Amino acid sequence: MSPNTKGALLMMASMAAYTINDAFIKATDGALPLFQLLTLRGVMTLALVLVVAARMRALDFRMTWHDFMLLSVRCLTEVAATYCFITALLHMPLANISAVLQMLPLTVTLGAALFFREAVGWRRSVAIAVGFVGMLLIVRPGADGFNIYSVYALGAVLSVTLRDLVTRRMSPDLPSMTVTVAVSMAILGFGLIGSLGEQWQPVELRHWALLAGSSVFIMGGYQFSVQVMRVGDVSFIAPFRYTGLLWALVLGWLMFGDWPDGVTMLGAVIVVATGLFTLFRERALLRG
């Protein structure tokens, strides 16, 4: 299997895992306080990750100071992304927040230009600007549909952008499973600290089942999202991120009866189209 094929499959697996996890979390319907939910899911996820790591013998915390700092920042950005995303997810349709997240290829390209001095020509700059117009159609500032949870969704985009940029700078010698364990521990710790100020609620059997399913898929999402940034040509692999929106549309319709309105769909199409243009333009420049 070529690196690009492997990367494309990992990206699609990552998007499927994250979106199915999102659907399970949303299906709890706010019955559990946010930090209690993060704590319970975090315990299950960390236990699963440690079992898998032990069987694979893939856990190694020896690393350079550079990788330690990058790993620390990645954990912080993952915590911020989790908090912002789940807060928005519990109050927004699944497809809507997933449509906002389709800005990531554009924001990662912009971030690489700002922080890593990667060249971005005028065509990709225009595409990024048009993509942000599409994002505005989705969140619609000033419209009745815009609220604080739309701001949380944008916060999740910013956090995941920083997460992906940091991941690209990690050494290949740092095992992906080590990153996954560290991230799982960080989110569990965040949930535990936050839950000290919450009144925990009884957990029904249905909620235990949803949390267990969420734990399995979020573990897969963590692992695949680390691996995918380390294999193949990013400009070839990144477009497969958009399969997450297809999962969100289908699951949102089947599980919650939600379907985005025309303006939201138009914004999503603009974001996806400009993202694809940006990625294919980058690929053409690499070939040239």
Show me where the domains of the chain are located: 3-287
Say if residue 199's pLDDT is above 80: yes
Q: What is the mean pLDDT of residues 213-234?
A: 82
* pLDDT score recorded for residue 189: 96
Question: What pLDDT digit, counting tens, does each position of 267-288 carry?
Answer: 888 888 887 787 676 666 666 5
Determine whether 233 is exposed, middle or buried from the number of CB atoms within 10 Å of its CB (0-12, 13-18, 19+).
middle
Q: Is the pLDDT of residue 143 over 60?
A: no
Packing angle, helices 176-195 and 205-228, rounded to 10? 140
Q: How far is it, in rounded angstroms, from Cα 112 to Cα 132?
A: 17
**pLDDT tens for each residue of 41-66:** 999 999 988 888 888 777 788 889 99
At 234, the pLDDT band (50, 70, 90 cuts) reads low
The 10s digit of each residue's pLDDT in 115-129 is 777 666 777 778 778
Rounded to the nearest integer, the mean pLDDT of the chain is 85
Q: Look-up: residue for tokens 């603009």?
A: 270
Per-residue confidence at 243, pLDDT binned at 50, 70, 90? confident
Residues in the chain: 288
Residues 70-87 have a mean pLDDT of: 95
- DSSP for 74-133 reads HHHHHHHHHHHHHHHHTTS-HHHHHHHHTTHHHHHHHHHHHHH-----HHHHHHHHHHHH
> What ranges in the chain are assigned the alpha helix state H?
3-27, 34-56, 65-89, 94-101, 104-116, 122-139, 148-168, 176-195, 205-228, 234-237, 243-256, 262-287
Cα–Cα nearest to 35, from 219, 189, 175: 189
Out of 102-106, 147-151, 253-257, least confident range: 102-106
Q: How far apart are the first and last CA of the chain?
A: 25
Mean pLDDT on 127-148: 73
Alpha-carbon span 235 to 163, nearest angstrom: 18
Token pair 């032990």: residue: 54
% pLDDT > 70, the chain: 91
